[in-house]
Amino acid sequence: MAAAPVWSVDPRTGKQREQVAVEATAREVDAAVRAAHAARGSLADRTVRAAFLRTAADQLQAAKDQLVEVADAETALGPVRLTGELARTCYQLRAFADIVDEGAFLDVVINHPDDTATPPIPDLRRYKVPLGVVAVYSASNFPFAFSVPGGDTASALAAGCPVVVKAHPDHPALSELVAIVLRRAAAEHGIPEGVLGLVHGFEAGVELVKHPLVTAAGFTGSVRGGRALFDAAAARPVPIPFHGELGSLNPVLITEAAAAERAEAIGTGLAGSMTLGVGQFCVKPGLVLAPAGDAGDRLLKSLTDAVSDVDSGVLLDHRMRDNFLAGVAERAELPDVESPVTAGAGGEHTVSPGFLTVPAGKLATEGEHDLLLEECFGPLTVVARYADEDEAKSVLSRLPGNLTATVHLSGGEAAGEGRGPELLAELTPLAGRVLVNGWPTGVAVAAAQHHGGPYPATTSTSTSVGGTAIERWLRPVAYQGAPEALLPAELRDENPLGIPRRFNGVLER
């Protein structure tokens, strides 16, 4: 594999600015993975691990001004958005440090022998151990939270797994700077810098998922790219878990009663959600089922006014801009599709937001309008107007898996009247997060969070956000009949580490 330069590109102009790094060769990928593999032992001590994560957060925060400046130069996301994203990333690192300290993620279960059971139970002790080196594939739209220091990296390190990150080509300079900060934090705790590897280049990403010492992978990106890596992970002589976030339409259902009750507020809220970050959020509402009739007309007028007031913005790169413009044009040309606010080129390097409308019946059966059921990355949504509940239900039944699904109910429906409970049940199979009277943009870092969903939203049932994201990088091991002197401290009767556990059927905290 020939080496090639990696350039920093200005998304506002599409021009190259400076050479940042060189695309990694197969030999360099191998070296990064082997260095990470050799660093596994340095993460064995949970106290050291937690301290490393907190130091990483502190040092990222200390370097905020430089990091945000470089991130904005490469992504055009703006200092306000990027500062908030960096703060979220630091919070996430500290949250995982707390999880490591607590130890409940180890799922310790101890059963003493019981000859009276049928069949008899021997001495069994179970907990979870780290898988090994994790490959992380950065996303373009979150250069901190889903990139080098993001949730995949933070949760893998918290689990005790070294990481090799494949940098995203949209922010190579930032990736290099962040890697330096994280390695410096590691060194403060005696952890080898190889605990965090960084490689650039498409071929490097392919080599990474195929490397025999890589034990799992986390990916955030497109369906096409993610599916190719997913298939490569499954085709290895020893297949590995591949936790990929690939794409999501994030449907929204608005009941007729909700529209009658607050059409204007729903229209304004939808405009804010679909245009947030120039529509470059993975949970952007891309399909909205709204009623036909007067209430639906009022909702569309509110949406039209609000979207019309949103300025044009810069997408992450010119390839995405070209794809967005082509996607909008192709969808707008379909029969019976209208554009109350036309999305398109806002200037030489920007795009303007808009939305399309279509009778919901056009989506209820397979046909040329199926294109409207595919994600269009950028500030565009499709409003499908349904004539009755059966028509809306028919459209929902045809949707693929999603990260989120949202329903807007009236006050009475939200209180359990009418079809409120039924609608919630209909949306649950579609997504990993179901919202009522809210908007999906904004994914809180919380213990109860789930950021995942049925395929193609994700390739596994796990979450990439929240405390349980750590579970992706662990596997259970049970010891049977092992003398206490040979057991790890986590599995000894006296519980010297004070870990929450289930001891002979009793939950101990």
Residues designated catalytic: 245, 282
Burial (CB count <10 Å: 0-12, 13-18, 19+), residue 503? middle
What's 6's DSSP letter?
A: E
Cα R_g (the chain), whole angstroms: 25
Tell me which amino acid residue 74 is: E
Q: How far is CA 80 from the centre of its chain?
A: 21
Report the first-to-last Cα separation within the chain, whole angstroms. 53
Q: Quote the CA–CA distance of 445 and 374 in Å, as a whole number.
A: 27
Q: Is 219 helix (H, G, I), strand (E, B) or coil?
A: strand
Backbone torsion region of residue 116, taken as left when φ is above 0, otherwise alpha when ψ lies between -120 and 50, otherwise beta:
alpha
Q: Quote the CA–CA distance of 507 and 284 in Å, as a whole number.
A: 40
Structural contact between residues 58 and 102, judged by C-beta atoms closer than 8 angstroms: no
Least Cα distance to 293 among 262, 261, 260, 324 occurs for: 260
Q: Give the angle 82-84-87 at the CA atoms, nearest 5°.
A: 110
Q: Quote the CA–CA distance of 500 and 498 in Å, as a whole number.
A: 7
Least Cα distance to 66 among 52, 77, 81, 82 occurs for: 82
Q: What is the token pair recorded at 25?
A: 């060769």
Structural contact between residues 130 and 46, judged by C-beta atoms closer than 8 angstroms: no
Structural contact between residues 382 and 343, judged by C-beta atoms closer than 8 angstroms: no
Strands 287-291 and 351-352: unpaired
